[in-house]
Structure formats: C-alpha cells, structure tokens
Amino acid sequence: MSPRSWDIFCTVIDNYGDIGVAWRLARRLARDHGHDVRLWVDDLASFARIAPGLDPALPQQALAGIDIRHWPQTDFPADIAPADAVIEAFGCRLPDSFEAAMAARAVKPAWINLEYLSAEDWTLSHHKLPSPHPRLPLTKHFFFPGFDAASGGLICEDGLIDARTCWQADEAAQNAYWLRRGLPPRVAGELRVSLFAYHNPAASQLLQAWADGPLPVRCLVPEGKVLPDVAGLFGRALRAGDHARLGNLDVHVLPLSDQDDYDRLLWSCDFNCVRGEDSLVRSQWAARPMLWHIYPQDDDAHIAKLEAFLEQYCAGLPAGMAAALRALNLAWNRNGDIPTAWRDAAPWLPAWREHATNWQQHLLKDGDLAARLLHFVGEIS
C-alpha cells in the first residue's frame, strides 16, 4: 500500500546541496502527488537562502503546502508520531526517540535512506538493499539516485520539461527575465553562460580563455564559493550586482536566487557550469551543454565518480566529441589545461546541445525519482 504521509529529515552539509534535493523532493511529493509531507531541517537559515518565503526564526511553519520543522539536535520532541514513510536524506541519523516511535507503530513506516547521486556501478548492487535495525523491529532500505533504468532516477516535477521548452522558445520572456535581473539582452553571436562552482582555481583559467576567445561571452555568477576565484582575475573583490569586463568577457555577479529562478537561469543560458548534486540534476533538465564541478573528496575519490558519470553521459557520442567533453570536465576538476580543453570542446557546442536534449529524454523514459520511489515504497509497505 502506498504511503500518504512522509517525514523527510535533512542536515545541511554544504549550505545548499543537501537541502536543495530534500526540498525538491518534498515539493514533488506534496504538489504533484498530493501527499502530506513534514520536512525536518537542522539549519533553517541556510534553507531560507533558497526558499525566500521561509522564516528561519520559526521552528514550525507551512510553505508550499509542506509542514516545515526545525530539527533540534538535542531534546527532539518525544510526542511526534511518525508518518507512513520516513526518509533519511543522505544518511543523516534519525533521533533515537523518533526511531522508537517508528518501532511502536502497529504498521511500521517505510524507512528509506536516500543516498547521494552516483553513476558508479557498485551503487546498483546496493540500490534497494534492506538494512535491519540492530535492536528495533525496523528495516531501512537504501535508495540510490542515478542515471539509468536500474537506479532510483532523478527528481523532475510534472510539467517541468514542457515549461522549459516553452521558455526556451519565448525570446520575450527571456529578455524580461534578464531585465528583471539587471542584465542586458543578448547580442548577436554572444555565448551566455552560468558559473556555479565550489572554490576552483581552474575558474580563472576558463574565464581567461573566454576573455581571449573569438566570441563575446557573458558569464553570470551566482554568489557562492567560486566568487573569490572569479574576482582574482580582475584584481578586486566582487559581490552581487557587480559587473566586470576583460577582453571579450563580461562577468555579472548575481544574488543567490530561489530554486525556480535558478532553473530559469539554466534554461536561459547556452552553457552551464554547475556543482554538486542538485544543480547537476537541474542542468540535465535545461537540455544545454554543461560542465560539472563535483564535490572534492580525499584521495580523489570524486574523480572516479566523475568518470563514471562521463562514461554514461558520453556513451554513443562521436569519439572526438566524447574525448573533448571528458577532457574539459577532467581539466575543470583537476585544475588542468583549461584553455586547450575549452578550445577543443567549443566546436562541439551545437552537437552537444542536441545531445543534451536527447540525454534528458533518456533520463526520464523510466520515470523520475519520485515515481520510482513511490513504486518501491508501495512494494515494501
């Protein structure tokens, strides 16, 4: 039997990534499937940066039809009745009292550990595996997002692809969007890009390559960890609202926006540099060429994850195109020879754009993450 109510627990790790995914999933279950969702978050201040209607001072509030609660790390309320399904986002540890309340239910909740996104083969062998609780009559199941039919898929709201298609065909809507964000409309021959990344010394290389290149490039940089790397190229501090120019490159710093506005930024650009998990997934639905800055890990473990993604993303492409896309992504994540990698990848941009559309269709042919999750939870409930 499918659940009708959900508890989603999320700890904010890198300011926006984890809560970004949890918030999208909560909205997907509530808005598109009509379920009751209670979202527990330990850092409401960071959450409010991507959900401007949220008041970080309120421990309980409703937003977008979702019951949002502050998750205290001590003295968790003892009188909370668990929902039909409980999600630990990215392995966060549930409160002991809440686990006990789950075990006390006559019908035990479906308990899901929603894992980080990865294309690595080992995740498929662990996807949906049960993990019995060592003391309580509860079983947790692992659920791995991914890029193929055997995985948990990726979050995509109902109507999103149609909305994006209409947006990208509506020049007037895009111009109004640029005006609202204080940006000029496009000029002929311009390459418009977004740049959202972690601290990355390769960023100045890429910007310099654009400045020295043959095409005008307008680079839109949401506030974030890469901004000091961008500012270093111009020898001065940059903040939201600033504009800087070098050669054929114009850089505009944007204030961090809510999730819907970030989607429109991705839809409106020709090329998107994204980071982590949430913005990577959203760049897939934009159907535009993209460059992924994966979250850095010790011993270069993140490079194996990047290469696993690129193996799937580049499957079936012409050999030269696949090699250029791989080289650019690896140089971006290893501070390699970015000017050469960009010069080799740039001629493929038209074909890359077509591939991005086909790839997005491939990702959704077996349903999105919420649809696959609902099906699985119905099986184990």
Active site residues: 18, 277
Beta bridge mates, 95: none
**In terms of residues, how long is the chain?**
381
Ramachandran category for residue 78: left, alpha or beta (phi over 0 → left; psi -120 to 50 → alpha): alpha
Cα radius of gyration rounded to whole Å, the chain: 21
What is the DSSP track for 54-70?
--TT-SEEEETTEEEEE
As a whole number of angstroms, the distance between CA 44 and CA 42 comes to 6
**What are the angstrom distances between the C-alpha of 143 and each of 68, 111, 199, 274?**
23, 10, 30, 24
217 neighbors 243 (Cβ within 8 angstroms):
no
Between CA 56 and CA 46 the distance in angstroms is 8
Q: What is the amino acid identity at position 105?
A: R
Distance CA 58, CA 37 (A): 18
Dist. CA 136–CA 139, nearest whole Å: 9
Judge contact between 181 and 208, C-beta under 8 A. no
The widest CA-to-CA distance across the chain, in whole angstroms, is 68
Distance CA 89, CA 94 (A): 10
Distance CA 224, CA 40 (A): 25
